[in-house]
A and B are shown apart, each in its own frame.
Chain A
Amino acid sequence: MKSLICCLVFSVFALGLSVSGQVIRIGVVGPMTFIQGIHHWRGATLAADEINAAGGITVGGTTYTIELVRVDSNEMQPGPDAVSAVERAITASKVDFLVGGFRTEAMLAMTEVAADYKKIFLIAGAADDGLLKGRVDKNYNRYKYLFRITPVRSTYLAQVSFILLRDVVETFRRELGISQPKIAIVAEQAAWANMIVTLVALQAGTPVDKGGFGGQHVGTWRPSALATSVAAELTAVERAGAHIVFTVFSGPVGVVFGRDWGRLQVPVAAVGINVEAQAQGWLDATGGFGAYTATAGIYATGVAVTEATLPFIEKFQAEFGELPLFTAGTYDALYILADAIRRADSLQTDAVISALETTDYVSTLGRIVFDELHDPIWGPDYITGLGVQWQDGAPKAFWPREWQPDPAKLPDLVISTPGTVPYVIPPWVKDHWQGK
């Protein structure tokens, strides 16, 4: 009897070992009770299901399936939860790779843990330049494990949001005859937003011929990222005489802004970055007051950035009933990782890193090629992102539309993504400023 039990225990143990040997465990890191983390998880599960259904990943003749581990970093709240969660995922859940992450402040700490344990971390959610710049380039051996999939780094995000702001400034000039629109900035108090705020404040008043917006900067407001009302800030923006408010929000304060802005019909056009406005539930979350919000985004109704975009959006919508947020870029992260593992034909970390560094992959976001910082290259033919505005109850893309990336050197290069529509000044803003 004793030997039978021993035999059974051994068999179960051996079976467990053999099963775990054919599994690649990927930790999906995100604030899982917030929409950003929920989309991290959803994007990853879609990709994992597809890859597994297609036969998994074959390495050296052995086929592996992907097993996802949910890593709730609770990173919206300050505190040690994020680091503990990643450490637990690596040491207790034995994950082989990590994807996701959102808040820069938490990501800086979480990526240190990944570097300590020499685990590849594909960032899908945090934009701050400093996550890779000054780390991968200055201390490659420690930080070579970090790659960013989405969004593009803050500098490029700023560039996209500048282009969107320029678009809105031009629309004000063209439709309302306001030659020098006044620009206010409302940005959440978070590290990733600082550089964007500084640049927009500098550029707002710089003449157009010197690369600026040719407007006037009338003030910057920095509410807490967890503020529950920004009515006072908006009143102050209106008092400053702003025509346009440039927004920089990644967290729930974006909803608060959209609701108060629409509810009070503050006569300023809102454009910039507002992650919450990328979500399908934006209008519900803002009580219907978030219409005409414009934001840099990744996905929009009916817009095919690449051939992979629409099938992914359709599948995501069919499965979850809403548009994916940019944090659902974990979908692409998993495919890029799988592609690198296949090319490396190895699960050894250094081999996978080398393969990742030579990635040239057409994702749902655009063509992903990493630069020397392990950041995806931004620009025409690579990733650009979209300018999205809520029109007629849906997120419509208004950029890239007749975009000339370099009119001086390449005057003939004009990019228009199919499915884009013109930007619309919110009607109450137009009524307020018409003829003034």
Chain B
Amino acid sequence: MVASILVNGLVYSGVYAMLALGFGLVFGVGRVLNLAHTAFYMVAAYGIFYFASTGFGMPLAVVLTTLGIVAAGIAVYKLFIEPVREMEATVLIATLAVAVLLQELVLVFFGNEPRHVPPALSGFTQVVGVRVGNQEMVTLVVAALSLIGAWFLLSRTKLGLAIRAAAQDREVANLMGINVNQVTAIVMGLGLLLAALAGIAVAPLFTVEPGMWMNPLVIVLAAVVLGGLGSLKGSLIGAVILAFAEVSVVFLVPGGSYLRTAIALLIMVCVFFIRPEGLFGSSIAEER
């Protein structure tokens, strides 16, 4: 059972981590709680479905979907978020409105019936006695490569340094000559790139349907808060904890597997009793 939890938990961790990192980056740098983040993940899943089913071929479909999502996301940022970026409550409502709008647009164009994207690799492999779909492994590899790429960008490049500086303190970064608005737009694009890749990676695994963004949004919000708002490392670790919590519920409380998300969130609440600022967040007193 431990092996099953480990293997399944890893797959979910990869997907949640990609989403949480993108979401955490945008919040950390731009202080934007983008509730439309997972809606772009949903649109990416539909994008790969559409391009793949209209004969574009998978590599071209991936490129078109990714570029489309990043371009659309930056346009949404410029049009809806940037003008109200200083007003947090307005940003929340605006991004939620964008998410619902995207869902309804998808509903109009594709309908509500579940869609299927053929796997890049069919079949399965036994890993430590656990049946793992080859597509799950592809997803895991995509997640790992995406996260390594993001880590490399953030820790080994000048842009990464600017992003981390802006994430730590926007005002000081600004004083140091970093164009914080430009960095925020770049981070928005980077976050959406990760969301698009996550959507593309899960499309062959999950059912593609207009409501598929809601549950991941809850998990991503929880992961970011659990890890500590603004902490990228915290977002990643929060995502992994919640993914393993969800999978563990399925194996340990089978009759309550529909409660997987609820129990994962309960674990988050329990952590707050011990560390109200999250696992890697700085306390309000420290910030002051």
Q: Interface of A with B (CB < 8 Å)?
A: 31, 33-35, 76-77, 189, 219-229, 231-233, 235-236, 238-239, 252, 255-256, 259, 263-266, 281, 284-287
CA distance A168 to B256 in the complex (A): 27
Stretch touching chain A among B93-101, B144-152, B204-212: B204-212
User: B4 is contacted by which of A76, A236, A252, A281 (Cβ under 8 Å)?
Assistant: A236
Within 8 A of A (CB), among B1-46: 1, 4, 7-8, 11-12
Nearest Cβ on chain B to A74's Cβ, whole angstroms:
9
Check B114 for interface membership: any CB of A closer than 8 A: yes
The SS class assigned to the A binding surface is loop
Known: A228-B206, A239-B1. A221 touches B116 (CB 8 A): no
CA distance A233 to B117 in the complex (A): 21
A256 near B114 with CB under 8 A, answer: yes
CA distance A33 to B206 in the complex (A): 20
Closest to A222 in B: B258
B116 near A235 with CB under 8 A, answer: no
A259 near B8 with CB under 8 A, answer: no
Kindly list 18 other residue pairs between chains A and B, CB separation below 8 angstroms, not including A34-B113, A220-B255, A222-B258. Answer: A220-B254, A221-B257, A222-B255, A225-B258, A228-B212, A229-B205, A231-B205, A232-B4, A233-B250, A235-B131, A236-B250, A236-B254, A239-B4, A263-B119, A264-B124, A264-B133, A285-B113, A286-B116
CA distance A263 to B204 in the complex (A): 10
How does the 8 Å CB contact mask read for B239-259 relative to A, with 1 for contact and 0 for none?
000000011001100111110
Contacts of A228 in B (CB 8 A): 206-207, 209, 212, 215
B258 near A235 with CB under 8 A, answer: no
CA distance A233 to B254 in the complex (A): 8
Contacts of A266 in B (CB 8 A): 131
CA distance A252 to B130 in the complex (A): 26
Interface residues in B, total, Cβ within 8 A: 38
User: A235 is contacted by which of B4, B118, B119, B209 (Cβ under 8 Å)?
Assistant: B4
Contacts of A222 in B (CB 8 A): 254-258
Closest to B208 in A: A228
A263 near B118 with CB under 8 A, answer: no
9 of the cross-chain contacts (CB-CB < 8 Å) are: A35-B113, A220-B255, A221-B254, A223-B258, A228-B207, A235-B4, A256-B206, A263-B135, A285-B114
Check B107 for interface membership: any CB of A closer than 8 A: yes
Known: A236-B254, A255-B114, A287-B116. A231 touches B133 (CB 8 A): yes
B118 near A252 with CB under 8 A, answer: no
Nearest Cβ on chain B to A247's Cβ, whole angstroms:
14
User: B209 is contacted by which of A224, A238, A252, A286 (Cβ under 8 Å)?
Assistant: A252
Within 8 A of A (CB), among B167-196: none
Contacts of A233 in B (CB 8 A): 250, 254, 257
* CB-based closest 4 A-B pairs: A189-B258, A33-B112, A228-B206, A287-B116
Known: A228-B212, A233-B250, A252-B207. A263 touches B133 (CB 8 A): yes
Q: Which of B118, B211, B246 gathers the greatest number of chain A CB atoms within 10 Å?
A: B211
How does the 8 Å CB contact mask read for B108-125 relative to A, with 1 for contact and 0 for none?
000111101111001010
Known: A226-B211, A235-B130. A34 touches B116 (CB 8 A): no
Contacts of A231 in B (CB 8 A): 8, 11, 133, 136, 205
CA distance A76 to B133 in the complex (A): 29
Known: A228-B206, A228-B209. A235 touches B114 (CB 8 A): no
Closest to B11 in A: A231
